[in-house]
């Protein structure tokens, strides 16, 4: 089984996010960069699927030099090879543009299965996995918490509001990972040592026959702001739980008018 995993490097969720002077992007100094948490599930699932029938796991990321770190982490977890699409044009892409780039990067690599995160926790887009599948003309399933592959057919359990949806498709296919799919492993020490020796293949858009025009963004962030600060409200005083509860219910009815 040839498996490709799409990986993004993102700020750790506990990072403080500040906006740059031009108001269009975030300040990148003082940020701890990590593998997108949903992509950790993708690497783990790929390694588990590979274990059974044998095969290769290739990890791919599109981004600047710094993104080599997440590829290195995935190699240390046990991935076999890594590709970094490193091109200045990547920075200005929207999700659809990134998907176009990744779909091109995948074309030269044989694959039965592609795995992505359901969303990246920086842009919260939920876009790239499904769009890659569309560009490659393969079926996809989103927000998967369980999958089984049998006789060239993948069956996935996807989370939807109020339950799960089970669908099937022949390989090659793509699915995106939801929390609950697995418990990602930590890189082992020997894994880290081995990963250091592995080479990360670097590609530019030109190497894949794409020019910047082909991936020009159609949606552009023209401004960023911090959400209105929630001010601390009233602490409700009272001698007993009953008194406080009565006061709360009165405020919710008369002042906030929500019940």
Partner 1 sequence: MSQNILVITEQRDGVFRKISFEALSEGKRIAQLMGNGLSAVVLGDGVEETAGETAKYGADKILVADDPALKEYTVEAYVSVIAAAAEQENPPVIILGASAQGKDLSARLAARLNAALAVDCTEIRMENGTLHATRPMYGGKILADVTLKGSPQIVTLRPNAMEISESAGAGQVEKMAVNPGELRMKFVEKEMESGKMELTEADIIVSGGRGMGGADYSLLEELAQTLGAAVGASRSAVDEGWRPHSDQVGQTGKTVSPGLYIACGISGAIQHLAGMSSSKVIVAVNKDEDAPIFSKADYGIAGDLFEVVPAITAEIKKLS
Ligand X SMILES: Cc1cc2nc3c(=O)[nH]c(=O)nc-3n(C[C@H](O)[C@H](O)[C@H](O)COP(=O)(O)OP(=O)(O)OC[C@H]3O[C@@H](n4cnc5c(N)ncnc54)[C@H](O)[C@@H]3O)c2cc1C
Residues 23-42, interacting with ligand X (CB under 6 A): 37
Contact 130, 176 (CB under 8 A): yes
Question: Smallest distance, Å, CB 17 to partner 1?
Answer: 5
CB of 172 to ligand AMP, least distance (A): 17
Q: Two tokens at 150?
A: 């049998």
**Is residue 219 within the footprint of ligand X (CB under 6 A)?**
no
Is 245 a binder of ligand X (CB under 6 A)? no
How far apart are the C-alpha atoms of 83 and 200, rounded to whole Å? 6
Nearest to 66 by CA among 38, 37, 40, 35: 35
Residue pair 183/44 in contact by the 8 Å Cβ criterion:
yes
Residue 157's H or E segment, with its range, is strand 153-160
Q: Which residue is nearest to ligand AMP (CB)?
A: 117
Contact 39/182 with Cβ under 8 angstroms?
no
13 is a site residue for ligand X (CB under 6 A)? yes
What is the smallest separation between the CB atom of 185 and ligand AMP, expressed in angstroms? 18
Q: What is the dihedral of CA 19, 25, 26, 32, to 10 degrees?
A: 180
Q: Considering the complex, what minimum distance in angstroms separates the CB of residue 133 from ligand X?
A: 26
- Interacting partner of 61 out of ligand X, ligand AMP, partner 1, none (Cβ under 5 to 8 A depending on kind): ligand AMP
- Tell me whether residue 25 or residue 246 sits nearer to ligand AMP (CB atom): 25
Q: How far is the CB of 248 from ligand AMP (least distance, A)?
A: 38
**Which option in ligand AMP, partner 1, ligand X, none does residue 29 bind, with CB closer than 5 to 8 A by kind?**
none
Query: Residue numbers of the site for ligand AMP (CB under 6 A)?
Result: 6-8, 36, 38-39, 42, 60-63, 95, 98, 102, 116-117, 119-120, 123, 125-129
Please choose, from the candidates 213, 102, 200, 113, the residue with its C-alpha nearest in 3D space to the C-alpha of residue 156.
113
| Residue 94 site contact among partner 1, ligand AMP, ligand X, none (CB < 5 to 8 Å, cut-off depends on kind) | partner 1
Burial of 219 (0-12, 13-18, 19+ CB in 10 A): exposed
Q: How many CB atoms lie within 10 A of CB 160?
A: 9
Alpha carbons within 13 angstroms on the beta-carbon side of residue 123 total 19
Query: Residue 15 or residue 125: which is nearer to ligand AMP going by CB?
Result: 125
In the list partner 1, ligand X, ligand AMP, none, the entry touching 17 (Cβ below 5 to 8 angstroms by class) is partner 1
Site residues (CB under 6 A) for ligand X?
13, 37
């Amino acid at each position: 089984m040839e498996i490709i995993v799409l990986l993004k490097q993102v700020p750790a969720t506990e990072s403080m996010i500040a906006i740059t002077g031009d108001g269009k992007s975030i300040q990148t100094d003082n940020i701890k960069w990590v593998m997108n948490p949903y992509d950790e599930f993708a690497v783990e699932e790929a390694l588990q699927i590979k274990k059974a029938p044998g095969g290769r796991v290739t990890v791919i990321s599109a981004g600047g030099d710094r993104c080599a770190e997440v590829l290195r982490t995935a190699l240390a977890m046990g991935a076999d090879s890594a590709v970094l699409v490193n091109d200045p044009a990547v920075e200005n892409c929207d999700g659809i543009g990134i998907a176009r780039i990744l779909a091109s990067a995948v074309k030269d690599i044989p694959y039965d299965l592609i795995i992505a995160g359901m969303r990246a926790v920086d842009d919260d887009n939920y876009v790239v996995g499904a769009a890659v599948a569309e560009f490659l003309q393969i079926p996809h399933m989103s927000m998967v918490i369980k999958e089984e592959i049998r006789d060239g057919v993948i069956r996935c359990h996807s989370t939807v509001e109020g339950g799960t949806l089970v669908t099937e498709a022949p390989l090659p296919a793509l699915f995106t990972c939801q929390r609950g799919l697995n418990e990602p492993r930590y890189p082992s020490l020997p894994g880290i040592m081995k990963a250091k020796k592995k080479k990360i293949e670097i590609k530019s858009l030109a190497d894949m026959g794409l020019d910047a025009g082909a991936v020009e963004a159609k949606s552009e962030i023209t401004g960023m702001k911090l959400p209105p600060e929630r001010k601390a409200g009233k602490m409700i005083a009272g001698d007993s739980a009953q008194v406080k509860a009565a006061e709360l219910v009165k405020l919710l009815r008369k002042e906030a008018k929500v019940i």
